[in-house]
Amino acid sequence: MFPIGLVSLKKALAQTLQRAAPEGSADFRTVSARPNGGPARFLAGVALGLAAAMAVVPVAQARNREVRAEIATVALAELPAQAQTTYRLIESGGPFPYAKDGVVFGNRERLLPAQARGYYREYTVKTPGSRDRGARRIICGGMPPTQPESCFYTNDHYASFRRIVQ
């Protein structure tokens, strides 16, 4: 997933600490000058480790942008009848059949475009024959909730999304 694994980065830093520390000491504060480089080598290792760690963040962010750019679309008319009904309820402001309809959706999966907390709200799409809320949802973002900027449909409980287009 990352060009440099965090585990291997941790191991490299630990090895650098061990090489730079005096014999029998694991405390980096007692580093002394040694033929293997001593404090200079230790500090170079720490700097290299920090640089590598900071390089991981932009790569992960770029991958998230790539995923979001690939969200498929679906026409509202192609959605199941129950999803179309839920969409109309969203536009009219309810009433919604489930108490959790309209609650904030946290986007923990990070499959939708990044937004501030509270931007997305989730709504249940009834699933015929299901005794609970089922896996189908519509997630909408923007204010006011009755005029969302964009809505997304999932039929697999947030594992994938399709942007709803008119």
109 is a catalytic site residue: no
The pLDDT of residue 51 is above 60: no
Quote the CA–CA distance of 3 and 159 in Å, as a whole number: 25
Q: Locate tokens 């007692």: which residue?
A: 30
Predicted confidence (pLDDT) at residue 101 exceeds the cutoff of 70: yes
Q: How many CB atoms lie within 10 A of CB 54?
A: 9
Sorted by where each begins, the domain ranges of the chain are: 6-69, 72-165
149 is catalytic: no
Pick the residue with more confidence: 110 or 57? Answer: 110
* 111 or 37, which is more confident: 111
What would the pLDDT profile of 118-150 be if each residue is shown by its tens digit? 999 999 999 999 999 999 999 999 999 999 999
**pLDDT above 90: percentage of residues in the chain:** 57
Q: For residue 136, which of 60, 80, 59 has the smallest C-alpha distance?
A: 80
pLDDT reading at 39 higher than 70: no
More confident residue, 131 or 20: 131
Q: How far apart are the first and last CA of the chain?
A: 36
Which residues are bridge partners to 152 per DSSP? 139, 163
Percent of the chain with pLDDT over 70: 58
Amino acid residing at 124: T
Look up residue 111 and give its two tokens.
């499959």
Positive or negative: CA dihedral 61, 71, 81, 134: negative
pTM: 0.60
Report pLDDT for 166.
Answer: 87
Mean of the per-residue pLDDT values for the chain?
78
pLDDT at 70: 79
Task: Calculate mean pLDDT across residues 143-162.
Answer: 95
Cα–Cα distance, 54 to 59 (Å, whole number): 9
CATH number of 72-165: 3.10.450.30
